Structure 1
Amino acid sequence: MSEEAEICTYCRHSLPLACFHQSGSDEMLQIFFGRIPVENATALLYFKKNGLTQKFVHALKYKRVQTIGSEFGKWLGAELSECKAYQEVDAVIPVPLHKKKLRQRGYNQVELFGIEIAQALNVPYIDDVLVKITPTKSQVFKERLSRIFSQQEVFEVQQLQKIKDKHLLIVDDIVTSGATLEACTSKLLKAGKVKVSFATIAITK
């Protein structure tokens, strides 16, 4: 894939859609049941090993094809802007990268995804409130419980005045065990009176 790759019509029709915001499914919400309070949760696609979604996400994360994030953000943003539940969102916040990983990669893979969603919802994109303070290794091959424990205390919240009393939409690339989103949300809930929803590019099948 080139750095300017776009998602062709054939691929759009071939991608395995999740789109819980349209189906009304609580499949993604169930991941967090009994763990943290979540208003709404959706993913655009299903992620399966060696599947088409994986090819796009890996190109976005490891091959610098950042336009993929933008394309998925425009796609999901347009749909969320038509959903009443997501029209109540006040700001979009990305799951942050640790500064070391950000220097290595050169960009946060969910940045353009989040920016496009924020623009579609006509709300600010805020990337300087939630900060990752501890570097962690890839979560892909870790068991569910070890993922949860490894994510504890790795995030912190700053500039609380930007998010106080707001409904926040946290965006990420993939949700598996939900450990990362849970850790982010726990910090935000402890820091201030906020409500939280999730939107990701994909969810593991």
Structure 2
Amino acid sequence: METLLQFMKRAWNNFVDLLYPVSCLGCGDNLTPNEEVLCVQCRVKLPVTDLSKTRNSGVALQFAGKVPLDFAYSYLTFSKKGIVQRLIHQIKYKGRKEAGAVLGRWFGYELKEKCEEIAEANLLIGVPLHPVRRRQRGFNQSEWIANGLSEALQIPVNTTALKRTRFEASQTKKGKGARWENVHDVFAVADAEAIRGRRVVLVDDVLTTGATLEACATQLLNAGCASVGILTLAAAR
């Protein structure tokens, strides 16, 4: 039975929603009290990937012969001017970090149901930002996605074991070769004990060339973790 405090809290939240309605990040319509981030219509339209494919998926094959991975999964397909691009833009540049956590949670429940490899993982690490970039943005979007995954998968998040040692400009317009040159030596393990012998999962927002994740995974494996898996919220076509 609902307590008086719970009733008052729900009534207050409903009142606030009436005054300051929360908008769907997909279409801009007001969300109902039972919706998060996206309205039902936009959530149904999300371009969710086929998580039954792992070893032979485009995501996994992108790292083949470069770095050994336990698995590599992406939740959504990223395309220019599509709904996923709008979501990522809202998360990274409009401060909607809570959307990253919600989408991470949805991703986690899908993984839990469809991907048995995830059961062996025991540590989540978001791809780190340089302190300068973190101060500019106010948060690390990959950590918020990792927090959502953690809630669904019950795997802890570590935010200090891996660090970015050099500030770099945005890589959005760089090709694969340039991206690798830009990042291959900018990550370092700051706490080897925290990852030694652990099955680590790297978390990022969008997989493009894979250079950043490859560089991070290489550092983690060299520092003694048992294995590395990769989870990204989206993957570019």
With structure 2 as the length reference, what TM-score do the two structures score?
0.82
Number of the residue aligned with 2:16: none
Q: Given the alignment of the two structures, is residue 185 of structure 1 paired with residue 217 of structure 2, yes or no?
A: yes
TM-superposition CA deviations, 1:97-123 (whole Å, max 9, x none): 000000010000122210121222222
- CA drift of 1:187 comes to 0.7
Asked if 1:38 is matched to 2:69, the reply is yes
Q: Is the 8 A contact 2:200 2:225 kept in 1?
A: no
Structure 2: gaps of 5 or more residues: 1-22, 26-30
Alignment partner of 1:172: what SS? strand
Out of 154, 176, 189, the position equivalent to 1:122 is 154
> Contact 2:125–2:143 (CA<8 Å) still a contact in 1?
no
| Mapped pair 1:12 → 2:43 | yes
Q: CA deviation at 1:42?
A: 0.5
Task: Report the CA distance between 1:16 and its aligned residue.
Answer: 1.3
Match for residue 145 of structure 1 among 177, 181, 187: 177
Contact 2:24 2:39 in 1 (8 A): no
Aligned to 1:105: 137
Paired position in structure 1 for 2:228: 196
Q: Distance in 2 between matches of 1:14 and 1:2?
A: 13
- 68 and 201 in structure 1: CA distance in 2 versus 1, 3 angstrom threshold: same
Distance 1:7 1:30 in 2: 31
Give the secondary-structure state (helix, strand or coil) at the position aligned to 2:75: strand
Question: What's the counterpart of residue 208 of structure 2?
Answer: 176
State the one-letter code of the partner of 2:152: A
State the SS of the aligned residue for 1:64.
Answer: coil
Q: Which amino acid aligns with 1:95?
A: V
Q: Residue 52 of structure 2 corresponds to which residue in structure 1?
A: 22
Distance 2:223 2:143 in 1: 23
Rg bigger for which structure?
2
- Contact kept, 8 Å, 1:136 with 1:150, in 2: the verdict is yes
Q: Which residue of the other structure, out of 63, 74, 79, is the alignment partner of 2:110?
A: 79
TM-score, length basis structure 1: 0.94
Q: Deviations over 1:145-178 (max 9, x none)?
A: 1111111210110221111111111000001100
Tell me the distance in 2 between the aligned counterparts of 1:118 and 1:180.
22
Determine which of 89, 109, 117 is the counterpart of 1:58. 89
Map of 2:7 onto structure 1: none
Structure 1 gaps of 5+ residues are: none
Question: Quick one: distance in 2 between partners of 1:152 and 1:113?
Answer: 23
Structure 1 residue runs of 4 or more that deviate by more than 3 Å after TM superposition: 1-5
SS at match of 2:151: helix
Q: Which one-letter code corresponds to 2:60 in the other structure?
A: L
* Cα deviation 1:53-76 (Å, max 9, x = unaligned): 100000000000112101111101
Closer, same or farther: CA 2–10 of 1 in aligned 2, 3 Å: closer
Shift of residue 139, structure 1, vs aligned partner: 1.2
Question: Is residue 162 from structure 1 mapped to residue 179 from structure 2 by the alignment?
Answer: no
Please report the RMSD computed on the Cα atoms of aligned residues, expressed in angstroms.
1.7
Which sits farther off after the overlay, 145-154 or 1-10? 1-10
Shift of 1:194: 2.3
Number of residue pairs matched? 204
- RCO comparison, higher one (Cα < 8 Å, 6+): 1
